[in-house]
Structure 1
Amino acid sequence: MITQLTSRTLLKLSGNDVQTFLQGQFSNDINALEEGVVQINAYCQHQGKIIALLWVMRQNNDYYLSFPSDLKAIVTQKLNMFKMMSDVQITDLSDEIIQLGLIDDNVKGGLSNFKLNQQQSLALVKSADKFDLSDQSAWGKACIDNAIAEVVLKTSEVFVPQLLNLDIDELGVSFTKGCYPGQEVVARLHYLGKSKRRMRIFECDSAINVADKLLVLGSKSTKASGIVVRCVKLEAKFLCLATIEIEHEDKEITLNDAQGARLTKIA
């Protein structure tokens, strides 16, 4: 199954200093990135909040960054600001290269394929004309099934990596790689104990939107008990990834207010 990912920016970074530069910017271990795979990275601000969640790929000595297009200006500005005098060139390939999301599929013919997980991969192609494309909901469901979080403009600087489960098995955070923006905060949260909130999968009979709040009656939190991270409509139901207080994850959860639609945790 192949889906065209129409709302993602693609940046190419090259130059003699590019690996060292990215190693000092992102949460995962860029030095350990192999060709043919997607490495998930958090681009954090100094308080450890995620500005953008990036899919990083390497081909020869070049690196490719894929992320939601509504964050392009923010990410590009931040990269340019920190590269300073480094030998790093940043090229926007969004209008030249098409990104395809593959589910239990592959494409051939000299194309670039990068494995995201056991079920999903990303292909970078010049044209999608010869492919039989499926709709976006199939890809969205696969991302939710595989707990692939997304950060968009309205949720930028909302989550620390632990809220999106990026610390589990060091999926998106390396705790041995060294410094990057926000590293001290992220590491402190990791070594001080377990996160009180985690990302889970929910379903609902009513419409769900990214950044909607999850509320639990009886929670003492001064903020919402959780936040919707990504969602997809599947026939009559909506499926979503959302953060939730672990203490209350199996209680009655409603959307946005106490009289809101009820969410059911399924994983």
Structure 2
Amino acid sequence: MQVCQLRQYEYVLVAGPDSIPFLQGQVTCDMTQLTDEQCLAGALCNLKGRIIGDFLCVRIAEGCLLQISEGNGQKIAVTLSKYAVFSKVKITIHEGPCDTYGIVSNESPALHELLPAPPSLSYQTATSDTATIIKLAGTPGRFQVWVWDAENASLVAESLRVLSDKQTLEDFGHFDYAETLAGQAHVNAQHSEAFTPQLLNYDLSGVVSFQKGCYTGQEVVARMHYRAKAKKRLFLLLAEGPTDATNNGAEIALVQQDQQIKAQVLHRSRGPGNSIAMLAILPIAWGNIEEPLLLVQDPTVELTVKALIYT
């Protein structure tokens, strides 16, 4: 089990008696499914159906707490506030948990001193006075621990350190690499309003619900899902060897034999040794290629394309 501290998030609180029905009319996930034991992954779109930002929504005593990529919290808070005039809600930037940890493990962490029954299903949560544990979706298995009790924060940190494989809190890169392998594409401030949910596989991963009613951008998102055939999607690219040609946001050229395409790297993570995992947008036809591709910017690097399977 690998454990690291997560500091790359911001939080927005939507509080008030109308918090759930208000968000139901604004975001892609079905907010009626949010409970004390079930959190939700969702996104906020603009009127053109492009993603302003994605989030993880957890129900707390004050309302709905949204965990958002660093740098995008203020924009999401401001956007939601524009539509909140006639709803009994208060939208604020929230300090979030006093500590947040990421765990990479295929089994539920045995935090019995914190929680009697850790979650076992995707996006299931378990909460005590001290902390909330969230099981994230996909493979490899990942969890988040949100610590609420500042007085016991050091106890939680020590418990996690003891449970970790190396008896220490590791670098964030381990969790980031696992997120990339699981195909979890997060929209930061740099990519806000640049992509549709379909391009980032949000229609496949459950971030978008097609059973709920209207929300901002829903007409465009639904039309693309039901009437348009996707020409590009998000794929996982795996490579070995150090290279700076595949940084986040970079446009890269891939070649196989006499064919060449351009791909946009949404996110890159470093794994063990010189391994690199990337989430990149490719033409769908290239997602079925089994032979390695060459990186034009650095021909010494071979990349393998993997389709992302969401369960």
Aligned counterpart, 1:101: 102
Aligned counterpart, 1:134: 170
Assess if the C-alpha contact under 8 Å between 1:19 and 1:31 holds in 2. Answer: yes
2:232 counterpart (197, 201, 222): 197
Aligned counterpart, 2:303: 263
Q: Offset of 1:59 from its aligned partner?
A: 3.3
Aligned counterpart, 1:171: 206
TM-score by length of 1: 0.87
Give the whole-Å Cα distance in 2 for the aligned partners of 1:43 and 1:255. Answer: 34
SS at match of 1:35: coil
RMSD: 2.5
SS at match of 1:25: coil
Residue type matched to 1:145 in 2? L
Matched, 1:114 2:134: yes
Q: Which runs of 5+ in 2 are unaligned?
A: 116-127, 162-168
Q: How many residues align?
A: 262
1:230 counterpart (267, 275, 284): 267
SS at match of 2:247: coil
Give the whole-Å Cα distance in 1 for the aligned partners of 2:16 and 2:226. Answer: 35
Q: Which runs of 4+ in 1 moved over 4 A?
A: 216-219, 251-262
Asked which structure has the greater CA Rg, the reply is: 2
TM-score by length of 2: 0.75
Aligned counterpart, 2:75: 74
Assess if the C-alpha contact under 8 Å between 2:12 and 2:73 holds in 1. Answer: no
Assess if the C-alpha contact under 8 Å between 1:214 and 1:253 holds in 2. Answer: no
Matched, 1:35 2:57: no
Give the whole-Å Cα distance in 1 for the aligned partners of 2:103 and 2:194. Answer: 29
Aligned counterpart, 1:241: 279
Partner deviation per Cα, 1:28-86 (whole Å, 9 max, x = no partner): 10111233333111111111111101111123572110011211221111122211132
> What are the equivalent positions in structure 2 for 1:73-92 lying under 5 Å apart?
73-92=74-93
> What are the equivalent positions in structure 2 for 1:182-221 lying under 5 Å apart?
182-204=217-239, 205=241, 206-207=243-244, 208-216=246-254, 218=259
Distance 1:34 1:68, change over 3 A: same
> What are the equivalent positions in structure 2 for 1:123-162 lying under 5 Å apart?
123-126=145-148, 127=150, 128-130=153-155, 131=157, 132=161, 133-162=169-198
